[in-house]
Structure 1
Amino acid sequence: MKTVAGPTDRVVVVGAGLSGLAAALYLTGAGRSVTLLERADHPGGRVGRYRGPDYEIDSGATVLTLPELINHALAAVGQTPQTCTPPLRIHQLTPSYHAKFADGATIRVFADPETMAAEVTRTCGAEEARGYRRLRSWLAGIYDAEFGEFMDTNFDSPLDMVRKPAKRRALAALLRLGGFGRLGPRVGKFLRDPRLARLFTFQALYAGMPPARALAVYGAIPHMDTSLGVYFPQGGMSAIAVALADAFTSAGGTLLLNTEVTGIDYAGRRAQRVRTADGRGFDCDALVLTADLGSIERFGVRRRRLRAAPSAVVAHGTVPAEIAATWPVQAHHTIEFGAAWDRTFDEIATGRGKGRLMSDPSLLLTRPALTDPALHIDRPEGRHEPFSLLAPCPNLDSAPLDWDRIGPFYLRELLEVLESRGYHGIAEHFTVDHLDTPSTWRDQGMLAGTPFSAAHLFRQTGPFRPRNFPRSSDNVVIAGCGTTPGVGVPTALLSGKLAAYRITGVTAPTRDETPRTTGIVFPANH
């Protein structure tokens, strides 16, 4: 593994998102003096928070899988979730999701195999339940072959896949499993009910690909989602960043908020100093840069032309609890599927200049107070709860729409769609305090206005994804969803660790550390 040569005693990490926090923890645990710079007034990055008039709400990712990776990052400095201030308490969601379909049917997703098999039998029949069990085994095989040698690893070259025995064995296993075929057709060999198949393929959107065209190796994502469990931290997803930041500063690290990095001074091929908007400079022997691929070139890091993943419109706000209590689904995460499916992906994930808005929307609704009642907001007019609505949409390369103009109108259309599907009162009573669109993501420096970064095409995945050790510098390492291993909360944490390993020279953990349990790893609230 190629590592930063020369002294690495002083490290600056730019960006206190999950990848930056993880990198800072692993570097601090390895004895480096680490300064972490964050432009916002709180840590978290894409897993941050928005402040409403009398409440806070998660600003980004709401789906947490593989919480063991949080344990690993904390353990790098001798901490546990219980020793953080405040303690980090994460609970497994049961069910993980609740899906509602255009025909009125609902299917709940459970991590426990027996419970899920019973749910499939109830909704789709015994034959589909047998197919589910076979599918679950296949997904587990994909995940086990992929995690240690393709996700939790640093690549110096695509040739690493054939040079190293462990990677050759993992590659052979993926080939035997059909991992380089297409995810949608492969899942279709196990499940005949198209509604059920959606629950094990929609995750391809996280990788920026329609299920029909995504590689089957991305079956690792639905395995994490549907077999290993979905979790939620007490207090919201931003509690993860708070815990990681507390562990970092308690271990002697320096975290500076409201500190925007404006430039990097180089001496030849080595970064020597990081400059900030307030005129300060921070000397460094090595640098971890977590800037999005859409803005990374301003820091002296070149990148090749990339195809971006689809984007999303996300509305955050509150609804009266008595209104939400009448909705057809009462769940933390509801996937509200439209009748169309393949057409939806064709609309939002098509080529440059050809994208369009979903004609039959499929949406993600998030109501965290159903899991954490402390998130309810008591107002004179009655109790309210935080609510988020996510609608996938094309990125700005695919459809350069004027989102500043059309955003509020499109949100109104989405709310009217939900009204027609039984979510009565949502159009009138959902108070929106923050609306994110591709234009707001672009203004934050994100590639083509998408929070999902570069799409996981074959040429942009695994060892072909943008390198975390770019050739343009000898001591700058990249972390975040735009580099290896890719998009998502678990992969962001892995990305920070892998970046730290480029500096410390530590190799990846052994295979027996692969997260694969389904048990509760933190104290539960019930």
Structure 2
Amino acid sequence: MRTVPGNTDHVIVVGAGLSGLAAALHLLGSGRRVTVVERAAEPGGRAGRSTLGGFAVDTGPTVLTMPHLADEAFAAVGDSLARRVELIELHPAYRAHFADGSQLDVHTGAEAMEEEIRRFAGPAEAAGYRRLRDWLEALYRAQMGRFIDANFDSPLQLLHPDLARLAALGGLGRMDRRIGRFLRDPRLRRVFTFQALYAGVPPARALAAYAVIAYMDTVAGVYFPRGGMHALPRAMADAAADAGAVLHYDSEVTGLRRAGDRITAVRLANGEELPCDAVVLTPDLPIVHRLLGRAPRRPVRLRHAPSAVILHAGTDRTWPHLAHHNLSFGTAWEDTFTELTRTGRLMSDPSLLITRPTAHDPSLAPDGRHLHYVLAPCPNTDTGPPVREWHDLAPRYRDSLVAELERRGLDGFGASIEEEHLVTPIDWARQGHAAGTPFSAAHTFAQTGPFRPRNLVRGVDNAVLAGCGTTPGVGVPTVLISGKLAAARITGRLLPSPLTSALPGAAAGPAAEARRR
């Protein structure tokens, strides 16, 4: 593994999101002096927090899986996730609602899920689920240490016996076909393949290896931090400060001072310069490239994942059939992905994620009120409507989204809203996200593993990248890993994540310590 040469005593981390805070904690644990510089008024990055009246809103991810990866970062400074955050394991992890009126609770426990599938689709599908679960666990074991929790210096590193094991498992085939070998019911296949959208690729074109995301969602456990997802980066920032990090908020980095091939200081918007021996850059790639003064040349232009419209709604009521996380599937499926990734149309028959965080933490809303987060995937601004069109499109799309929710059983949703905020590709673009998407570069084969933008910067000896645009990719678990991988480039120490801590029934990791509800 290549590492940053020379002195690395003082490291500046640009960005206090999950990747930057993970990098900071791992660096602190290796004895580095760390300064974190964040343009916002508080930590979190994409996992931020805003207020709508008396409602506390998570502005980014709402699903937490693989919490042992966060625990690794805390453990680097002798702390623990369980000491800082109360985790609630969600049962069910999701509730899936289908266009035909059927409903499926997605459990991460094997027996509970097998029984639910037997009720929903019969004994043959329940047996198929058991085989699928075994395959997902094997897929996770084959990938985690070699292809996910790993720094790549060359594509030749793929030539390892683990690649043969992955191929033997069918991981180099197509995701939907491989899942179809276990499950014939098209509704069940959606539950175990929709995760391809996280990777920015339709299930019909995604590598089967990306079913590892389904493993995280449907096997390893889904958690909710009391206080909302923002409680995680807040706790990580507190742990970093207690371990000696200096954190500067409301401090935007506008430039980097260089001496030869090394960065010697970061320049803030107020003109102040902070000297450093190395720097970890976590903003989205366009901002990083602007700071560095150039973008690396690639044979083919980066393709970006679809974007999302999010409606945050504080309401005076809720709907009893909603679980904490809900998947609302339309009738269309293949056409939905075609619209999102090829034709650039808004979904004509949308599939939605509806999250109700007040189901487990009523303190996020005023007494008797409820918070709903509705995510509707949409094309990014390279494929679909450009940013300028969203100014007129946004209110119309909001109204059609509310009408669709009411058609799907959330009667009176629009009238119940007391506070709301609509997030569209306009807002993602304003934050510096390429193609108006918070999901960065899509996980096509040419943008995966050693072919993804590298976390070492060519031509700069002491700059390292972290975040969803670099290795290993998009999602809360992977950005936490990216912070660890960035720190390893500086310290030379990369301790592999223990596989057993993410396997069902294992005693290791925070799931064994956290208080469950």
The answer to whether TM tops 0.5 is yes
- Indicate how the Cα distance of structure 1 residues 427 and 202 shifts in structure 2: closer, same or farther if over 3 A, else same: same
- Percent identical: 53
- Indicate how the Cα distance of structure 1 residues 335 and 512 shifts in structure 2: closer, same or farther if over 3 A, else same: closer
Alignment of 1:114-513 (within 5 A): 114-162=111-159, 168-300=160-292, 301-303=294-296, 304=298, 305-321=301-317, 324-325=318-319, 329-350=321-342, 354-378=343-367, 383-401=368-386, 402-509=389-496, 512=499
How many residue pairs match? The answer is: 507
Query: How many angstroms apart in 1 are the aligned matches of 2:416 and 2:505?
Result: 38
The letter for the 2-side match of 1:524 is R
Classify the secondary structure of the residue corresponding to 1:134: helix
Alignment match, 1:523: 514
Query: How many angstroms apart in 2 are the aligned matches of 1:10 and 1:200?
Result: 44
RMSD between superposed Cα atoms in Å: 1.3
- Is the Cα contact below 8 Å between 1:228 and 1:518 reproduced in 2? no
- Is the Cα contact below 8 Å between 1:332 and 1:370 reproduced in 2? yes
- How far the C-alpha of 1:339 sits from its partner, in A, is 0.3
- How far the C-alpha of 1:447 sits from its partner, in A, is 1.4
Alignment match, 2:62: 62
- Is the Cα contact below 8 Å between 1:18 and 1:241 reproduced in 2? yes
Give the structure-1-normalised TM-score: 0.94
Alignment match, 1:165: none
- How far the C-alpha of 1:523 sits from its partner, in A, is 2.9
Give the structure-2-normalised TM-score: 0.96
The letter for the 1-side match of 2:304 is A
Query: How many angstroms apart in 2 are the aligned matches of 1:344 and 1:82?
Result: 40
- Is the Cα contact below 8 Å between 1:191 and 1:197 reproduced in 2? yes
- How far the C-alpha of 1:185 sits from its partner, in A, is 0.9
* Deviations 1:13-67 (CA, angstroms, capped at 9, x unpaired): 0000000000000001111111000011110111111111222110010010000
The letter for the 1-side match of 2:9 is D
Query: How many angstroms apart in 1 are the aligned matches of 2:424 and 2:459?
Result: 33
- How far the C-alpha of 1:219 sits from its partner, in A, is 1.0
Classify the secondary structure of the residue corresponding to 1:275: strand
The letter for the 2-side match of 1:103 is D
The letter for the 1-side match of 2:77 is V
The letter for the 2-side match of 1:307 is R
* Deviations 1:438-470 (CA, angstroms, capped at 9, x unpaired): 111011111101011000000000111100002
- Is the Cα contact below 8 Å between 1:148 and 1:514 reproduced in 2? no
- Is the Cα contact below 8 Å between 1:469 and 1:478 reproduced in 2? yes
Classify the secondary structure of the residue corresponding to 1:272: strand
- Is the Cα contact below 8 Å between 2:52 and 2:314 reproduced in 1? no
- How far the C-alpha of 1:431 sits from its partner, in A, is 3.8
Query: How many angstroms apart in 2 are the aligned matches of 1:2 and 1:125?
Result: 52
- Is the Cα contact below 8 Å between 2:89 and 2:222 reproduced in 1? yes
Classify the secondary structure of the residue corresponding to 1:159: helix
The letter for the 1-side match of 2:394 is G
Query: How many angstroms apart in 1 are the aligned matches of 2:31 and 2:478?
Result: 24
The letter for the 2-side match of 1:23 is A
- How far the C-alpha of 1:511 sits from its partner, in A, is 5.3
- Per mean C-alpha deviation after superposition, the further-off stretch among 335-344 and 395-404 is 395-404
- How far the C-alpha of 1:372 sits from its partner, in A, is 1.7
- Is the Cα contact below 8 Å between 2:466 and 2:486 reproduced in 1? yes
Query: How many angstroms apart in 2 are the aligned matches of 1:400 and 1:346?
Result: 15
The letter for the 2-side match of 1:484 is T
The letter for the 2-side match of 1:89 is E
- Indicate how the Cα distance of structure 1 residues 88 and 38 shifts in structure 2: closer, same or farther if over 3 A, else same: same
Classify the secondary structure of the residue corresponding to 2:233: helix
Query: How many angstroms apart in 2 are the aligned matches of 1:483 and 1:20?
Result: 13
Alignment of 1:63-78 (within 5 A): 63-78=63-78
- Is the Cα contact below 8 Å between 1:147 and 1:514 reproduced in 2? no
- How far the C-alpha of 1:509 sits from its partner, in A, is 1.8
Alignment match, 1:36: 36
- Structure 2: gaps (5+ residues): none
* Deviations 1:209-254 (CA, angstroms, capped at 9, x unpaired): 0011100000110001000011000000000011100100000100
- Is the Cα contact below 8 Å between 1:315 and 1:432 reproduced in 2? no
Query: How many angstroms apart in 1 are the aligned matches of 2:24 and 2:80?
Result: 16
